[in-house]
Amino acid sequence: MPTIKSGNLNKKVGEHQETKGWIIGHFMNSQPFFKTDDFEVKWSVHSKGDVKQGAIAKSSAKTLVILIKGKISIKFSELNKKVLLTKVGDYVAYDAYEVLHSSESLEDTTILVVRWPSKR
**For residue 1, what pLDDT is reported?**
78
CA distance 51 to 104: 4
pLDDT in tens, the chain (120 residues): 788 888 888 775 555 567 778 888 988 887 888 889 999 999 999 999 999 987 666 567 889 999 999 999 999 888 899 999 999 999 999 886 777 889 999 999 999 999 999 876
CA distance 58 to 72: 21
Does residue 45 lie in a domain region? yes
Residues forming a β-bridge with 113: 42, 65
**For residue 106, what pLDDT is reported?**
98
* 19 secondary structure, DSSP code: G
| CATH number of the domain within which 37 lies | 2.60.120.10
Counting the structural domains of the chain, the total is: 1
CA distance 42 to 37: 14
Does residue 41 lie in a domain region? yes
Q: CA quadruple 23, 29, 32, 36: dihedral positive or negative? A: positive
Does residue 3 lie in a domain region? no
Q: Which range of residues forms the domain containing residue 49?
A: 9-116
**For residue 16, what pLDDT is reported?**
56
